Chains A and B, each alone.
Chain A
Amino acid sequence: MIGVVITTPLQSIVVRQDRDISVVRRAVSTHAERLNLSVLSRTRLVTASSELTRNMLVYGGGGVVELKVYRDGERLGLGATFADQGPGIDNVEDALADGFTSGVGLGLGLGGARRLVDQFDIQSSEVTGTSISVAIWLKDDGR
């Protein structure tokens, strides 16, 4: 049902240390408020962003978070792309399964983050690293 999605960049954040995770949380929260996302949608997106930024830091050695407005016809959303130049994810399906962890997490990170958002796309290879894009759409009642 998603047609051609046009994205407009909002902000780009370089992630190198664990403090940058809160920088990302605050930025996502601010833009979500500006776009009038509901409190629940905002909380979901901020939480998913927090998980994905931490993953990027722990497994990918840091990277860049790009925040953008998504537009599909009349519909607006807030999206974020998390890109690292790390070693990539061996088996994406396994990594998305609950309980999977190869590091220090609880194994809820990737699969959990996917459940929180409306859109979740992942690309990963040994050569290019991992890039995950997520988005939450404003709901029909304007929230």
Chain B
Amino acid sequence: MTLERIAIVKIEECLLVTIQVDMHDRLALTLREDLGERLLTTQARGVLLDISGLDTLDTFIARVLAGISSMAKLLGAETVLVGMQPAVAMTLVELGLTLEGVHTSLDVDRGMALLKKLLV
């Protein structure tokens, strides 16, 4: 079995996740589990999901990302999704997926600023 995982980095009271690979289904589910555990152990209050490395987002992965945001909320943390490529955003809208309830921002810097505002 491979131990393929997406790294979760703690910065102050936030967890930063940078998705650089083409995320296959199981990797996305592993990320969700890992993030849940890290939220508990670190007591982080914010999650920044950087998806600038993803050039597609289908309904399954989008659903997992929305699920991560809901799960984090239940664990007392806010999630901001950053770095979505314009073509990915357009395609998601055409698919009928608007990721309602998920905070988004253009890039990591703005996402971090938004997260800080949400955590006040």
Which of B23, B60, B88 is A54 in contact with, Cβ under 8 Å?
Answer: B60
A47 vs chain B, min Cβ distance (A): 5
Chain A proximity of B47: nearest CB distance (Å): 22
Residues of A near B88 (CB, < 8 A) are 43
A46 and B55 form a contact (CB under 8 A): yes
The answer to whether B25 and A109 have CB atoms under 8 Å apart is no
Q: Is the interface of A mostly helix, strand, loop or mixed?
A: helix
Tell which of B7-15, B31-39, B89-97, B109-117 binds the partner: B89-97
* Number of B residues with CB within 8 Å of any CB on chain A: 21
A-B pairs under 8 A by CB, number: 70
Q: Which of B50-98 contact A (CB under 8 A)?
A: 55-60, 63, 85, 87-88, 90-91, 94-97
Q: Which residues of the partner chain B approach A40 to less than 8 Å between Cβ atoms?
A: 87, 90-91
Most chain A CB neighbours (cut-off 10 Å) among B23, B63, B94, B95:
B95
- Interchain CB contact (< 8 A) of A116 among B60, B85, B94: B94
Q: List CB contacts (< 8 Å) of A100-118 with chain B.
A: 105-106, 108-109, 111-112, 115-116
| Among all A-B residue pairs, the 10 with the closest Cβ atoms | A50-B58, A43-B87, A112-B95, A18-B25, A22-B24, A46-B56, A40-B87, A39-B87, A43-B91, A22-B22
| 12 A-B contact pairs sorted by A residue (CB < 8 Å) | A18-B25, A19-B25, A22-B24, A43-B91, A44-B94, A47-B58, A98-B96, A106-B63, A108-B59, A108-B97, A109-B59, A115-B95
